[in-house]
Structure 1
Amino acid sequence: MKILHITPHLGGGVGKAHAALCEADKQADERHYVLLEAPRDTRHVDAIRRSGAAVSIAQDMGLVRDLMSSADLVQFEWWNHPLMCGLLAGSPLPAMRTVLWSHVSGINAPFIPTGLIETADQFVFTSECSRLAGNLAGLKTEAVARTEVINSGFGYASTDGNQQRKRNGRGISYLGTVEFTKMNPAMMDVIDRIVHSDAAVDVWGGVDALSPVHNAIAEMTHPERFRLRGHSDDPRDALLETSIFLYLLQPFHFGTAENALVEAMSLGCAPLVLANPCELAIVRDGKTGLVAQSVDHAVELLNWMLEHPHDVSRMGEAACKEVSEIKTPERSLAAFRTLWRSTMARPKRTHNFATTLGQTPRDWHAALQGGSCARYTGLQEAQSASKGSLAHFETYYPDLDQAPTIQCDP
């Protein structure tokens, strides 16, 4: 099979997922990745190339169309990126077989327009929570049958038979996005209310100098407990030092695979999460971690975990075992190979994604916010221009109300 992947970029979780999939794929040389913008960080690009897959930048859209036409199958790595919207809703695309792999949950903005699911030959979610959140509501049975769930978040492979040797039995960590677009401000309240006076949380992740996170820390009763450790070049090493993974996220976050959570569990950390749909699809309450129903409940559970290190260790071991069995690139690759083979039985055809997304960049953005202000949380608009906000769309399409001219041959 000649498989063409089209993606805005290969950074972050998307790049990490595909690097792992390609490393596990003995037939990676069948795959060609086209990036819609030049990569800022080439680590995952370099890893994918080392696996034997080709990677190129979409500078000539006519050539991209030729690649689409000649590929046996085209897989679009979908999230609310303006360039992906422009490609799908711009000039007519050639006949092809299509798979869309969604890297957003669709539970909150950015939503997944049902027309995308109906139009694609196969639509793939990265978490079962997306299916349970109403993304399939109103779809015909035939369209629902063309959806799958394939995980994109993988744990660390066990290379150390003694993962407990460095672990602090009462060590607490958070690793991930240290901004309130993802991390819940309740983190500060929960940490302040820890009973143990010597407790502290190592918070791994970069923080902008002007971030409101700094103000929130300063307003804590015990700001010294919120220990900003900055970006970690070796998350594995950082996580091996902790027992409790305090991962309290905003209820409106749009993550699915939650790499940091899965990686922490794979190393034997017991997570404490809030009862958000995505986390509920990963953590089994009382078995592989604990799930809090409220901030007060999170405080109660965290204090319990600090008093019961042996129970925390037991949950961490169970989390490690489950992740190592279920969330592996080999398992996801096998699922994709099965999906691709079934898609190959379909004839190539043209796809009209513009009907779903609309004609202008403003239309595209509105479609991903649910199409109405009533469903739009407003919080997405406060994000930086790198997060699918209207400002992000405007950086690529200065006239948001004008259908852009996509430089593709007719």
Structure 2
Amino acid sequence: MKIVHITPHLGGGVGKAHAALCEADEETADRHYVLLEAPRDTRHADTIRQSGAAVSIAPDMGLVRDLISSADLIQFEWWNHPLMCGLLAGPPLPPMRTVFWSHVSGISTPFIPKGLVEAADRFVFTSECSRLAGNMAGLDADVVARTEVINSGFGYPSTGGHQPRDHRGHGISYLGTVEFTKMNPAMMEVIDRVAHSDVIVDVWGGVEASSPVHDAIAAMKHPGRFRLRGQTQTPREALQHSSIFLYLLQPFHFGTAENALVEAMSLGCAPLVLANPCELAIVRHGETGLVAQSADHAVELLTWMLEHPQEVCRMGEAARKEVSEAKTPERSIAAFRRLWQSTLAQPKRIPDLGRVLGSTPRDWHAVLQGVAYARDTGLQSAQSASKGSLAHFEAYYPDLDQAPTNPV
């Protein structure tokens, strides 16, 4: 069984997930990763190569088409990256069996086009929250039956002889994106309002000097409680002294596996999250952490956690056990092996993916925003050129209204 993974790159959570899957896979030699652009960070690609899988950077469509033609199965690593849209919406690709693994939830923008789910032989989500969202609405039963959920967020492996950590301290941490594109401004409000004078939250993650996060901290009554620690290359060590993982995210964030949350839980941290669909699929209220319905509720729950360290210890230990059993790369690669094997029964075909996304980069962006045409919605290209913004598409395809002749 020859499997070709096509992905824009192997950075961030996607690269981390596949590196872990390859290390847990005993048959990596039959897998080939094709990157649509050169990686900025080669750590995960290097790990994948060391596991026995091949990694190539696609210089043009010739290599991509040759690999697709010779493969038994193609797995597209899906999120709203311009190069992936260009590949799928460009000239028809050779006949193939297709699996899509979505690394965005589709609950809010970027949406997952329903036509993409329909066109795939198998469509895989990374969180159950995606299947419960509007992604399934209006799809035929046979299409829904071809969907599956396979986790991509894994905890740290147990070092053996684990002992529950001492939760008598007030160690509180946040680790992740320190921008309001994902982190909820309620973080500042909740920390400010807790009636414990010695509360300090260690906030791990890079933040630009011009970020509005700095203004929000300055506006706090107790700005010293929000302690920016910067980016860390050793998140496990950064969280070792934390009892509580304060992970309050925006309701519209598009994350699914939430690596930072799962990793913190695997270390015995008890999380406090907001009742967003993704977090609800990971944290069980009162058992493996606490789920707040509002900022007021979060203040109440955080106060309770600080005053009940033994309960925090209990939830943290339950979180650690659940993650160590349920969220492992061994379970995920076994699920993929079963799915890949079953997909081989399908004949190769040419999926009509251009019809799903449209013909121009502006159309691709519009579909993922859930609108008919971006040119009619007032969407601006002044956004930063990242994370699937219109400016990001323009950086790869300067003429947004022209179908590219070489989409990769």
TM-score under structure 1 length normalisation: 0.96
Deviations 1:201-258 (A, max 9, x none): 0000011111111111111110000000011111111111100000000000000000
Deviations 1:274-303 (A, max 9, x none): 000000000000000000000000000000
Give the secondary-structure state (helix, strand or coil) at the position aligned to 1:47.
helix
More displaced 10-residue stretch of structure 1: 277-286 or 153-162: 153-162
Deviations 1:37-58 (A, max 9, x none): 0000011001000000000101
1:79 paired residue number: 79
* Counterpart amino acid of residue 181 in structure 1: T
Give the secondary-structure state (helix, strand or coil) at the position aligned to 1:148.
strand
2:2 paired residue number: 2
Distance 2:267 2:377 in 1: 35
CA deviation after TM superposition for structure 1 residue 91, in Å: 1.0
CA deviation after TM superposition for structure 1 residue 164, in Å: 4.4
1:317 paired residue number: 317
Deviations 1:108-160 (A, max 9, x none): 00000100000011000000000001101111111111100000000000115
* Counterpart amino acid of residue 170 in structure 2: R
* Counterpart amino acid of residue 199 in structure 1: V
Matches within 5 A, 1:146-295: 146-159=146-159, 161-162=161-162, 164=164, 169-295=169-295
Distance 1:31 1:179 in 2: 36
After superposition, the Cα gap between the structure-2 partners of 1:8 and 1:164, relative to the gap in structure 1 and judged at 3 Å, is same
2:122 paired residue number: 122
Distance 2:167 2:236 in 1: 12
- The answer to whether the 8 A contact 2:164-2:317 is kept is no
Give the secondary-structure state (helix, strand or coil) at the position aligned to 2:137.
coil
Distance 2:165 2:305 in 1: 20
* Counterpart amino acid of residue 42 in structure 1: T
CA deviation after TM superposition for structure 1 residue 161, in Å: 2.9
Distance 1:340 1:395 in 2: 35
- Asked if 1:350 corresponds to 2:350, the answer is yes
* Counterpart amino acid of residue 262 in structure 1: V
Q: Unaligned stretches of 5+ in structure 2?
A: none
Give the secondary-structure state (helix, strand or coil) at the position aligned to 2:400.
coil
- Asked if 1:54 corresponds to 2:54, the answer is yes
Distance 1:49 1:380 in 2: 40
Distance 1:313 1:382 in 2: 47
1:44 paired residue number: 44
Give the secondary-structure state (helix, strand or coil) at the position aligned to 2:334.
helix
1:110 paired residue number: 110
1:361 paired residue number: 361
* Counterpart amino acid of residue 71 in structure 2: A
Deviations 1:22-42 (A, max 9, x none): 000010111000000000001
Distance 1:345 1:15 in 2: 29
CA deviation after TM superposition for structure 1 residue 384, in Å: 2.8
Distance 1:349 1:392 in 2: 31
Distance 1:259 1:216 in 2: 26
After superposition, the Cα gap between the structure-2 partners of 1:313 and 1:381, relative to the gap in structure 1 and judged at 3 Å, is farther
- The answer to whether the 8 A contact 1:178-1:206 is kept is yes
Distance 1:158 1:407 in 2: 44
- The answer to whether the 8 A contact 2:167-2:310 is kept is no
Distance 1:127 1:162 in 2: 28
CA deviation after TM superposition for structure 1 residue 61, in Å: 1.3
- The answer to whether the 8 A contact 2:166-2:313 is kept is no
1:20 paired residue number: 20
Give the secondary-structure state (helix, strand or coil) at the position aligned to 1:197.
coil
2:307 paired residue number: 307
Distance 1:165 1:182 in 2: 29
Give the secondary-structure state (helix, strand or coil) at the position aligned to 1:135.
helix
- The answer to whether the 8 A contact 1:97-1:343 is kept is yes
- The answer to whether the 8 A contact 2:100-2:120 is kept is yes
* Counterpart amino acid of residue 201 in structure 2: V
Deviations 1:180-208 (A, max 9, x none): 00000110000001111011000000111
Distance 1:153 1:167 in 2: 25
- The answer to whether the 8 A contact 1:268-1:320 is kept is yes
Q: Unaligned stretches of 5+ in structure 1?
A: none
* Counterpart amino acid of residue 237 in structure 1: E
TM-score under structure 2 length normalisation: 0.97
* Counterpart amino acid of residue 150 in structure 1: I
Give the secondary-structure state (helix, strand or coil) at the position aligned to 2:183.
coil
Dislocated runs of 4+, deviation >4 Å: 162-168, 376-383
Deviations 1:164-190 (A, max 9, x none): 457663210000000000000110000
- Asked if 1:388 corresponds to 2:388, the answer is yes
Give the secondary-structure state (helix, strand or coil) at the position aligned to 2:232.
coil
CA deviation after TM superposition for structure 1 residue 60, in Å: 2.5
Deviations 1:282-332 (A, max 9, x none): 000000000000000000000000000000000000000001110000000
1:131 paired residue number: 131
Distance 1:293 1:377 in 2: 32
Give the secondary-structure state (helix, strand or coil) at the position aligned to 2:64.
helix
Distance 1:379 1:297 in 2: 35
Distance 2:310 2:111 in 1: 41
